[in-house]
Amino acid sequence: MALERVGKILKMADEANTSVIAFNCINYDMAYSVVTVAEELKKPVLIMLYPEHQYGFNDTDLRGFAEMVKSLASTVEVPIGLHLDHSSDFAYIIKAIKAGFTSVMFDGSMLPLEENIRLSKKVVEVACNFGVDVEAELGRVGFAADSDEERMDMYTRPEIAAEFCRKTGVTSVAVAIGSAHGVYLETPKLDLKRLEEINQATDIPLVLHGGSGIPNEQLEVAFTKGINKFNVGTEFFQLYYDSIHEYMKAHEREQNVNLLFEMSKYVQEKLMTYLRKKLQLSKF
Ligand code: 13P
């Protein structure tokens, strides 16, 4: 199948009262594993590129990544979406759209509200000419390493969520309700009451970032209260590093080009085992 519109996949998730899972990927091993397991389990998924993971890449690489995901999607029947994760750089977003990303996130969470609204709207105006969906962030999800008090100050306020969505025209919005990016110092506790209030105040899909390390019981509830896109990065990357280290340790003194191919297969198997379990959360 051709790449599916992310907006359409989020709508399917909403109708199924669940969430699609969006994985940060940087290369073929990761994207191939996600697409393969999605097809096996018949669950739509999203592949995301996080601009910081593009360190050293140039425009051609951005296009290469998009082409790789398009090509993988064309080999399966299950809907696959391609999304540019957090970017606050307008020029970079345009490059991603031109490279073939069908969905982008404009992250204005560091900006004052009015500026976040103005710039999110500007991205929507351009993106809709290309048929591309736009996610914004309201409040600030932040990093797991920040203190709880710091992050609670930045939680999404239900009373401004409706106005934000109406004024910007975004197709989905990331909410700050207690999750954070990276490795949690303590088990996170999502503010599900706030989520419910935001969900009541808005009529577009909500997005939960900072997916690594949130207990499944909380996720299951969040997915029935408006979260239709769930982002996972850190734990997927950690598994990738660990698998490479394991493989290299077992083959420390060997030098043979076949080992590199075997390593790729080894890593894919590890990632796929994780993905088979993770995707059970997504109740399509
Ligand atoms: P984690 O890296 O904490 O899983 O979060 C991923 C994310 O939210 C990407 O936008």
Domains and CATH numbers, the chain: 6-281 (3.20.20.70)
Q: Give catalytic residues, as residue numbers.
A: 85
Ligand 1 atom with the shortest distance to the CA of 180: 3
What is the phi-psi region of residue 208: left when phi exceeds 0, alpha when psi lies from -120 to 50, beta otherwise? beta
Q: Which of 234, 240, 274, 275 to mutate to test the pocket of ligand 1 (most atoms within 8 A of CB)?
A: 234
The residue written with tokens 């710091």 in the block is 150
| pLDDT value for 113 | 96
Q: What integer is the mean pLDDT of 45-64? A: 83
Q: Which residues line ligand 1 (CB under 6 A)?
A: 24, 85-86, 181-182, 209-212, 231-234
| Alpha carbon distance, N-terminus to C-terminus of the chain | 18
Q: Which of 86, 135, 181, 187 to mutate to test the pocket of ligand 1 (most atoms within 8 A of CB)?
A: 181
Query: Rounded to the nearest whole angstrom, what is the distance from the C-alpha of residue 213 to the centroid of ligand 1?
Result: 10
Residue pair 11/87 in contact (Cβ under 8 Å)? The answer is no
CA torsion through residues 8, 86, 117, 93, sign: negative
Residue pair 13/276 in contact (Cβ under 8 Å)? The answer is no
Ligand 1 atom with the shortest distance to the CA of 209: 8
Query: Rounded to the nearest whole angstrom, what is the distance from the C-alpha of residue 234 to the centroid of ligand 1?
Result: 6
Q: Which of 109, 231, 235 to mutate to test the pocket of ligand 1 (most atoms within 8 A of CB)?
A: 231
Q: What integer is the mean pLDDT of 12-18? A: 98
Residue pair 115/82 in contact (Cβ under 8 Å)? The answer is no
Task: With a cut of 90, say whether residue 153 has pLDDT above it.
Answer: no
Query: Rounded to the nearest whole angstrom, what is the distance from the C-alpha of residue 105 to the centroid of ligand 1?
Result: 13
| pLDDT value for 55 | 65
pLDDT band at 144 (very low <50, low <70, confident <90, very high): confident
Output the DSSP codes for 34-89.
HHHHHHHHT--EEEEE-GGGGTT--HHHHHHHHHHHHHHHTT-SS-EEEEEEEE--
Query: Rounded to the nearest whole angstrom, what is the distance from the C-alpha of residue 282 to the centroid of ligand 1?
Result: 17
Q: Is 260 exposed, middle or buried (0-12, 13-18, 19+ CB in 10 A)?
A: exposed
The residue written with tokens 């909410």 in the block is 175
User: Which has the closest alpha carbon to 223: 265, 259, 177, 264?
Assistant: 177
Share of the chain above pLDDT 90, in %: 88
Residues facing residue 207 across a β-bridge: 174, 229
Q: What integer is the mean pLDDT of 144-164? A: 85
| pLDDT value for 56 | 65
Angle of the 234-250 helix axis to the 28-41 helix axis, nearest 10: 110
